[in-house]
Amino acid sequence: MRPRIALRLVLILAALAPACASRSSPSGSRPIQEIPPSPGWTEQGIASWYGGRDGFEGKPTASGEIYDSSLLTAAHRELPLGSVVDVTNLDNGKTVRVRINDRGPFVFGRVIDLSRAAAREIGLIGPGVGSVRLTVVTPGAPMEIVSTTGRWAIQVGSFADHLRAERHAERVRGTGRAVFLEPYRGLSRVKVGPFDGRRDAERELASLEDEGFEGIVVPTD
């Protein structure tokens, strides 16, 4: 089992367990509590960086903070926002400590998207991507994920360039899935769905990953 899938199962199953006795339906709007991984949890994979000419500078991150490429931050699909993580470049041994404040990357096979400053610290600016090991130092605070409508979607991309968002949406539509674009404070988010329950969305995300896409399950309000 891939480490990122294992993490998702930890977050989802641990969150669902205490609620099973009281929830009438898995598709209801009751909050789902994220359970963060323990300090020392590790993951290996490919890192990339963003904040150059991609248009994300000055745009909002998933945490609500404004993206600043000069800060030591990063995007991860599943670690709780606010988590502090050591990222080690396996090619040169350099390590940088970052705070997770955004969601992504949405490119198949990549596990983390670093800020420009963080990428510079471990020598990834030139190559653009590299093999890394992530080690959780301090997990972010648990958060409640709520869908007020009881419906969910899969976010498969977020773009500062609307045309790039449209092109990515067309690639996903090519799989026969329903895709829509959602504007968010200057960004275009590409989403699949909606689904009547979170579990349905999680199953569809697993299918998307098998077809070479990446994404995260989010509420649709």
CATH of residue 119's domain is 2.40.40.10
Q: Give percent above pLDDT 90 in the chain.
A: 66
Distance, CA of 64 to CA of 68 (rounded, Å)? 12
Render pLDDT for 30-60 as a digit per residue (tens, 0 to 9).
Answer: 344 455 789 999 999 999 999 877 788 988 8
**Is residue 78 domain-shared with residue 167, that is, in the same domain?**
no
- Whether residue 62 contacts residue 106, with contact meaning beta carbons closer than 8 Å, is answered with no
The answer on 170 and 103 residing in a single domain is: no
Q: What is the pLDDT of residue 121?
A: 98
How many structural domains does the chain have? Answer: 2
Residue at 17 is within a domain: no
CATH classification of the domain holding 166: 3.30.70.1070
From residue 179, alpha-carbon distances to 58, 65, 160, 190, 201 in Å are: 27, 27, 18, 7, 13
| Residue at a domain's end among 138, 171, 189 | 138
Q: State residue 99 phi and psi, 5-degree precision.
A: -110, 130
Q: Examine the domain organization and report whether 129 and 151 are in the same domain.
A: no
Taking 80 as the threshold, does the pLDDT of residue 119 lie above it? yes
Residue 108 belongs to what domain range? Answer: 36-138
The verdict on 131 and 169 lying in the same domain is no
Sign of the alpha-carbon torsion through 97, 100, 105, 108: positive
Half-sphere exposure of 86 (CA within 13 A, CB side): 11
Same domain assignment for residues 45 and 71: yes
Give a yes or no: residue 10 inside a domain: no
Mean pLDDT estimate for the chain: 84
- pLDDT attached to residue 185: 82
Select the more confidently predicted residue: 88 or 57.
Answer: 88
Q: Which of 114, 138, 162 is the last residue of a domain?
A: 138
What average pLDDT does this structure show over 107-113?
93
Alpha helix ranges (H) inside 71-197: 116-121, 162-173
Written as six digits, the tokens of 98 are 């970052």
User: How far apart are alpha carbons 160 and 196 in whole angstroms?
Assistant: 29
Residue 50 covered by a domain: yes
Q: Is residue 8 part of a domain?
A: no
pLDDT value at residue 217: 92
Is 11 among the domain residues?
no
Do residues 162 and 105 share a domain? no
23 located within any domain? no
- Residue 141's pLDDT is what? 82
Q: Which of 121, 138, 155 is the last residue of a domain?
A: 138
pLDDT-derived band at 10 (thresholds 50, 70, 90) equals: very low
Q: Identify whether residues 125 and 150 lie together within a single domain.
A: no
pLDDT-based confidence at residue 169 (cuts at 50, 70, 90)? very high
